[in-house]
Amino acid sequence: MSERLEVDLELDCRGMRCPLPVIRLANNIDEVAVGQTIGVVSEDDAARSDIPAWCRMRKHEYLGEDTVADGAPRYLVRRSS
Amino acid sequence: MTKPTGHSGAATSGYLDSASSEPLHPVAQEVLLGALDAGYADPLRLHHQGRDARLLLDNARAVVASCLDVREDEVTFTSSGTQAVHLGLLGLLQGRERVSTRLVHSAVEHSAVIRAAAWWSGRTGGTTDVVGVDANGRVSPAEVAAALSKAAGVLAVQSANHEVATLQPLEEVYAVARGRDVPVFVDFAASAGRLDLPPGWSAAAASAHKWGGPAGLGVLLVRKGARWRAPFPVDDRADRRVSGFENVPAALAAAAALQARLAEREQVNERQFGLVDRIRQRVAATVPDVEVVGAPDERLPHLVTFSCLYVDGEAIVTELDREGFGVASGSACTASTLTPSHVLAAMGALTHGNVRVSLTRDTTEDEVERFLAVLPGVVARIRERAGVA
């Protein structure tokens, strides 16, 4: 993604290991309205597989990955239900 | 010296990790003890002790060759399955060096293949291309064909996946490779002793402790006429493909275990396949937010993997151990590298909260039922502790 998406909520999960970033995402999904987006910033390798897998299992939309200013990966999710 | 403290002899109650290591088959145990007494000498020496060892080694080779339906001179005993993989794969690459140094392998190969590939690239500058898999972990023959449209030295595809049990379409893969004249290396460690290896490989490798033989004994198969060149220093011992003193007792015990395993495999496979079906269904029905992964039907008989959302892999392995069950996990927190299983990642499956259950040849229905009874509570407790809303 060349242009950074303006997310409605960003969760800084740096320093957390799996499954904590996914738990944090699950516990915060209700903080945004259906159709709004959450960005999960995580340097944990497992997040790259597990956030898309969580979206598939919980029926939300996975929008892909970009990076924050310091280069850490950010995973983008749209609440679908 | 630490004395071994076996729990209850041959009974392996609650041990559900045969895919890491199957307990020694009782027949192998008996043969191993006998061979330790009779097979200590150097099989290359001309004294009668040496000739005795040589007889045992030749016998082991003949039995393994007959069990695997290959020629005796195609069988090499190595000091581990990993060594057999390294020799088999790198030897084929070496033999094809003038044609192409490019290796193509599936995304779900055992780490022994992946590490050998990285070593090969670092050494020769040869490239490595990875063929992806579908959501069940199955290699697509069409993708293999696309990868082989460019010149390639060797194609490496496993017979079945060691983490998720999915069988690979070897016949179709062979046909594609044959059309391109590319030799195939097959890691058949996960299926050896359970399912026949279809012919069509140029080299193949397996590990005795996965079928009930002793650990520290691998089997390398190199097809007669295959362009295989020793990738490492050789010595002047009996087998020109491997160096070092042969482990005669282990080779004989491995052969005995394989033979015994083949004799009983129809019953064992059928029983294990049914018990795994039961685990697949019950886990999906009784544990919320769980994903049972791997092919449901085209799979190994004894193995199943599932991932539980919001569950820490180390926690679930530890909790199940406390309940008396030994299982493996492909989750990052349970691995020394802190990276999650490349197999689960390639499938797009959930990598955390992962549990791999693999049945031994004597795992009982009762053990499986007890495991299924404790699992939902274990998962619920870990989730509660983690503060999952």
Contact B309 A54 (CB under 8 A): yes
Helix (H, G, I), strand (E, B) or coil at B15: strand
pLDDT digits (tens, 9 = 90+) for B371-383: 999 999 999 999 9
Average pLDDT, chain B: 94
At residue B236 the predicted structure's pLDDT band, cuts being 50, 70 and 90, is: confident
- Model pLDDT, residue B178: 97
Whole-angstrom Cα distance, residue B147 to residue B165? 24
How many C-beta atoms surround the C-beta of residue B38 within 10 A? 15
Contact A54 B350 (CB under 8 A): yes
Q: Which of B332, B349, B387 lies at the smallest CB-CB distance from A18?
A: B332
| Partner A contacted by B337 (CB < 8 A) | no
Whole-angstrom Cα distance, residue B67 to residue B76? 14
**Nearest CA to B172 among B154, B194, B157?**
B157
| Partner A contacted by B357 (CB < 8 A) | no
Whole-angstrom Cα distance, residue B172 to residue B229? 26
pLDDT digits (tens, 9 = 90+) for B278-299: 999 999 999 999 999 999 999 9
Distance from CA of B312 to the nearest CA of A (A): 6
Nearest CA in chain A to B353: A19
* Residues of chain B contacting residue A50, judged by C-beta atoms under 8 Å apart: 340, 350-352
Residues whose CB falls within 8 Å of the CB of residue B134, separated by 6 or more in sequence, listed in order: B140, B347
- Model pLDDT, residue B4: 67
- ipTM value, please give it: 0.92
* Residues of chain B contacting residue A17, judged by C-beta atoms under 8 Å apart: 332-333, 338
Positive or negative CA dihedral for B333, A50, B20, B77?
A: negative
**Kind of pairing, strands B290-293 and B218-222?**
unpaired
Nearest CA in chain A to B345: A49
pLDDT digits (tens, 9 = 90+) for B34-61: 999 999 999 999 999 999 999 999 999 9
At residue B322 the predicted structure's pLDDT band, cuts being 50, 70 and 90, is: very high
Q: Catalytic residues of B, which ones? A: 333
Q: Which of A18, A27, A56 lies at the smallest CB-CB distance from B340?
A: A18
Residue A18 annotated among the catalytic residues of the structure: yes
Distance from CA of A20 to the nearest CA of B (A): 7
> Cis omega (within 30 of 0) on the bond before A19?
yes
Positive or negative CA dihedral for A28, A34, A39, A40?
A: positive
Give helix B313-322 / helix B365-386 axis angle, nearest 10°: 130
* Residues of chain A contacting residue B289, judged by C-beta atoms under 8 Å apart: 57
Distance from CA of B337 to the nearest CA of A (A): 11
Whole-angstrom Cα distance, residue B242 to residue B346? 33
% of residues, chain B, pLDDT over 70: 95
Q: Which of B331, B388, B389 lies at the smallest CB-CB distance from A18?
A: B331
Q: Are B205 and B15 in contact (CB under 8 A)?
A: no
Positive or negative CA dihedral for B104, B109, B112, B118?
A: positive
Calculated CA dihedral for residues B146, B152, B158, B163, nearest 10 degrees: -70
**Alpha carbon of B124 to those of B65, B109, B118, B128, B195: distances in Å?**
33, 21, 10, 11, 35
Q: Which residues, listed in sequence order, are joined to residue B103 by a DSSP beta bridge?
A: B128, B154
Where do the DSSP E strands lie in chain B? 75-78, 103-106, 128-131, 154-156, 184-187, 203-207, 218-222, 290-293, 303-308, 354-358
pLDDT digits (tens, 9 = 90+) for A16-63: 988 999 999 999 999 999 999 999 999 999 999 999 999 999 999 999
Contact B352 A45 (CB under 8 A): no
| Partner B contacted by A61 (CB < 8 A) | no
How many C-beta atoms surround the C-beta of residue B207 within 10 A? 29
Distance from CA of B341 to the nearest CA of A (A): 9
What is the distance, to the nearest Å, from the Cα of residue B68 to the centroid of all Cα atoms in its chain?
Answer: 16
**Alpha carbon of B263 to those of B67, B184, B257, B301: distances in Å?**
10, 29, 10, 16
Residues whose CB falls within 8 Å of the CB of residue B11, separated by 6 or more in sequence, listed in order: B362
Where do the DSSP E strands lie in A9-68? 9-12, 37-41, 61-67
Q: Are B62 and B70 in contact (CB under 8 A)?
A: no
**Nearest CA to B83 among B228, B250, B216?**
B216
Average pLDDT, chain A: 93
Q: Which of B291, B333, B348 lies at the smallest CB-CB distance from A18?
A: B333
- Chain A, chain B: beta-carbon pairs less than 8 Å apart: 70
**Nearest CA to B296 among B288, B287, B306?**
B306
pLDDT digits (tens, 9 = 90+) for B110-132: 999 999 999 999 999 999 999 99
Mutate to test the interface with B, among A17, A23, A29, A51 (most CBs of B within 10 A): A23
